Amino acid sequence: MSEEQQRPQAAAAFDALGADYEKAFAGSKTHRRSLEWLLGRLAPGSRVLDVGSGTGRPTAETLADAGHDVLGVDVSPVMVELATRQVPSATFQCADIRGVRLPDASFDAVCVYFSLLQLDRREQTELVRRLVRSLKPEGYLVLATVPLDVEGVDATFMGQPVRVTSFTAQALTAVAEEAGLEVLAQEATMFTPAHPQARPEPHLFLHCRRAPGRLTATGAAAPAHPSPPRMG
């Protein structure tokens, strides 16, 4: 499937899900703990990018309610409309994050909750590198995914056709570290979305900081701690 075909498929799937996606994942305590981890480290009024912001809940809403300046980006017009209405204290943009200009060192934190799964591995790797460059020195990045060794697999997600690519937990950690992130903590769990067509799925949350130190040839800082502690 070409990039031009893949992009509208992702938008169409999440346009169809709309508010049902928020309801299905509202019970994720791990997601809530992840946000608490981030909130405990951000200075007042931090600028945060929410990649794949969905309906704005819980991520953008939680951060904006805490007084942070939140920009959410999502490819689905329906999701952006819902988020704009539900979280008026944040700003939302309907766009493919791959085409959004991300100035270097412009964000204190970046959230990437399950929003890379419909990109191929090369695109995921390149995007993580771009997001790291958009962080201020020692800024934070939270990355969550479904850690499976799959590439370009056609699947059905909550009744919607999607094409899924992911990394194993070890491979994703390597992607993060090679991009210049220091993985400070991680949590793995099983979660079943509250939807009749959903099945239990593994979730992995990586809690990272832009690593201090010498820049590599690719412009990323060298990773500092290859063995992060687990959360929980």
* Token couple for 18: 């709309």
Contacts of 216 (CB under 8 A, 6+ apart): 180, 222
Q: Decide: residue 5, CB within 10 A, 0-12 exposed, 13-18 middle, 19+ buried.
A: exposed
Q: What is the pLDDT of residue 5?
A: 41
* Positions of the chain with pLDDT under 70: 1-9, 213-232
Give the span between the Cα atoms of 169 and 146, in whole angstroms: 9
- pTM metric for this prediction: 0.88
Nearest Cα residue to 86 out of 62, 69, 51, 107:
62
Residue type for 16, please?
Answer: A
Angle at 72 between CA 96 and CA 137, to 5 degrees: 95
Q: What is the pLDDT of residue 93?
A: 98
Q: What is the pLDDT of residue 16?
A: 83
Alpha-carbon torsion angle 201, 204, 205, 211, nearest 10: -160
Sign of CA dihedral 64, 67, 68, 70: positive
Sign of CA dihedral 6, 9, 10, 11: positive
Q: What is the pLDDT of residue 215?
A: 44
Q: Quick check: 161 and 197 in contact, CB under 8 A?
A: no
Give the span between the Cα atoms of 1 and 83, in whole angstroms: 29
Q: What is the pLDDT of residue 189?
A: 96
Q: What is the pLDDT of residue 197?
A: 85
Q: What is the pLDDT of residue 213?
A: 63
Domains of the chain: 3-210 (3.40.50.150)
Q: What is the pLDDT of residue 79?
A: 95
Q: What is the pLDDT of residue 232?
A: 44
